[in-house]
Amino acid sequence: MKPLKNKCNPIVLCLLLSLWMAGCASPPAPKWVSLDTSSLDGTLTLEKCLELAKNNDIQVVQWKARLDAAHAELRQSKILPNPSLGISWEDIGLEDELGAGISTTTYGISYPILFWWSYPEKIKAAKLIQLAEQTAVLSEQRQLEIEIASAYFNIIADQRKAALAEDIAKAYSELFRLARKQNQQGDISAFNLEQARLEMNKAESELKDTQATLRADQMSFAFALGADRPFYPVLSDCGEQYIHPEGISLDKKELTADDLNAALQKDYDYMSKQIAADYAASKLRIEKLNAIPLVDVSGSAGKKASPEGDSTTYSLDIPIPLFDRNQAGIERAYTELRTAQAEEEKARRDAITKITTSWEQYRALSWRWEQYSSSSRQLAEKNSKTAARLYEMGMLSYMEMLRSQSEYKNTQMEAVDNWRDLCTTSWTLSAILGK
C-alpha cells in the first residue's frame, strides 16, 4: 500500500478564505451637529420651524438607522444559504511497509437543497418588516409635525398674551393715575383708590408672568427644534391662516363613511397594525411549512481517500417528522395572529374615535371663534370704552368701570386661548385626514 498523500491544502485555503471574508470593520460613529442658533434669528414661520425640526440631526440619524436595519433584514432574507464543508479523518490502525500509519480521509460539500420550501414566504415577511418600519417612521414624522405646530401656536398665543398684558398694565396704570387725581379732588373714596392700586399691581404681576411663560416656552421650543443651548426664537404671527383646514367644510354636520374610510387609509397607526396582522399571518404560514421540515433536507457530495484508492461519495439527509411536526410553533403563531387581528380592530376603532372627536372639537371651537371674532370681543371692547368715558363724565361708579375693564381683559385672553386651541385642532385634523 502507498502512504496517503496530503490532500487537505485546498480545504485549508477555503477555511482561511472564509475567515477573511467574515471579517468586517465597525462603522464610524456619527458626528453630532446641533442646530446653529443663527437659524433661529429673525421671525420664524411655521414652515421654517417644521423644516428645522425634521432636519434635527438626532432624529434623522435614528430614522435612517431604523430604515437601513429593515432594508438589511430584507437583503438578508434574499441571500441563499451557505454550503457546509465536512471533513473527517480516521486512523484504521494499520501501517505501511515504511511503518507509517494508514488513515482514511473524507471531505465533501453539503447543501440544503430544498431551502426554497419556505424561501419566498421568508422574503415576504421581511418585506412586511420593512414596510412596518417605514410606516412607523412616517407616523413619528406626522406626530412631530403636530407637536411642533402645537408648540408654535402656543408660543404665538404667548406672544399675543404678553402684548395684551402690556397694554392692560398701561391701561390700569392710567386708571390708577386718574383715580388718584379724583381722590385728591374728593370725587372717589380712599377705598376706590386702593382698589385701583391693587388692580394696577395685579396687571403688572400678570405682565411679568406672561413674559416669563413666553420665554420658557420659547426656550423649550428651541430645544425641540434641535438647539443645544438656550435661545428664545420669535415667531411670525400667522393670523387666521391655519384656522380652517384645507379641503374641510363646516357645512357638514358629521363625517360620512367615505370620509372615515379615506382617513383610515391615511392613518399610520392603523396601517401599522394592519401590517402587523399581515406579518403574523406570514409567520403562521412559515410555521406550517416547517411542519414538514423540507428545508432541513440536505444533500452532499465529496471525495474519500482510502488505502484502496479515491472514491466519490454522495449522501442525502432527510428528517422524518414522526413526532415533532412543529405543533408548538404553529399554535404560537395562531395566538400571535389572533392578537394582531384584535389589535388591528382596536386600532381601527381608535382611529375612528380620534377622527370624529377631532372633527367635533374643531366644529365647536370654530363656532366659538366666530362668536369671539364677530360679537363677543367687539361688544366687550365697546363696553370698556363706553364705561371709561362714562366714568370720566361722573356717570358711572369706579367699581362698575373696573368690572367692565376686567370683562374686556378676560374676553381678550379667552379669544387668544380659543385661537390657539382652534389652530391646534385644525392642524391635527388636517394631519389625521391626510390633507
- Model confidence at 7, in pLDDT bands (50, 70, 90)? very low
Quick: pLDDT tens for 142-164.
Answer: 999 999 999 999 999 999 999 98
Q: What angle do CA 9, 96, 88 make, to 5 degrees?
A: 40
Residue 431 φ then ψ, to 5°:
-65, -40
Give the DSSP H/E element, type plus range, for residue 305.
strand 298-306
DSSP state of 42: S
Q: How far, rounded to the nearest angstrom, does the alpha carbon of residue 374 sit from its chain's CA centroid?
A: 39
- C-alpha grid cell for residue 130? 420593512
Q: Are strands 101-111 and 84-95 parallel, antiparallel or unpaired?
A: antiparallel
Which residues, other chains included, contact 291 with Cβ-Cβ below 8 Å and sequence gap of 6+? 321, 325, 326, 327, 330
Which of the given ranges, 24-38, 84-98, 99-113, 283-297, has the highest pLDDT on average?
283-297
Q: Are 176 and 424 in contact (CB under 8 A)?
A: no
Quick: pLDDT tens for 314-328.
Answer: 888 888 888 888 899
- What's the Cα-to-Cα distance from 181 to each of 169, 176, 186, 392, rounded to whole Å? 18, 9, 9, 11
**Residue keyed to cell 390633507:** 435
- C-alpha grid cell for residue 335? 395566538
The whole-number pLDDT of residue 395 equals 73
Q: Can you tell me the mean pLDDT for 301-319?
A: 82
Q: Which residue has the higher pLDDT, 251 or 269?
A: 269
Q: How far, rounded to the nearest angstrom, does the alpha carbon of residue 232 sit from its chain's CA centroid?
A: 25
Quick: pLDDT tens for 353-398.
Answer: 998 998 889 988 888 888 776 666 666 667 777 777 776 677 777 6
- Model confidence at 1, in pLDDT bands (50, 70, 90)? very low
The whole-number pLDDT of residue 132 equals 94
Q: Which residue has the higher pLDDT, 262 or 156?
A: 156
When mean pLDDT is compared across 39-53, 157-171, 294-308, the lowest value belongs to: 294-308
- Model confidence at 3, in pLDDT bands (50, 70, 90)? very low
The whole-number pLDDT of residue 8 equals 45
Q: Which residue has the higher pLDDT, 189 or 274?
A: 274
Q: Which spans in 55-107 are helix H? A: 57-78
Q: Can you tell me the mean pLDDT for 170-186?
A: 83
Give the separation between CA 144 and CA 50, rounded to whole angstroms. 8
Q: Can you tell me the mean pLDDT for 27-38?
A: 73
Which of the given ranges, 179-193, 277-291, 393-407, has the highest pLDDT on average?
277-291
- Domain residue spans of the chain: 35-79+120-268+348-433
- Model confidence at 6, in pLDDT bands (50, 70, 90)? very low
Q: Can you tell me the mean pLDDT for 303-315?
A: 80
Give the separation between CA 98 and CA 289, rounded to whole angstroms. 57
Q: Which amino acid is at 249?
A: S
* Length, in residues, of the chain: 435
The whole-number pLDDT of residue 181 equals 83
Share of the chain above pLDDT 90, in %: 35
pLDDT greater than 50 at residue 102: yes
The pTM assigned to this predicted structure is 0.80
pLDDT greater than 70 at residue 293: yes
CATH topology of domain 35-79+120-268+348-433: Outer membrane efflux proteins (OEP) (1.20.1600)
304 Rama class: left (phi>0) / alpha (psi -120 to 50) / beta: beta
Residue 95 half-sphere exposure toward CB, CA atoms < 13 A? 4
Mean pLDDT computed over every residue of the chain: 83
The whole-number pLDDT of residue 214 equals 95
Q: Can you tell me the mean pLDDT for 100-110?
A: 80
The whole-number pLDDT of residue 5 equals 42
Residue 237 half-sphere exposure toward CB, CA atoms < 13 A? 10
Edge-to-edge strand list for the sheet holding 84-95:
84-95, 101-111, 298-306, 309-317
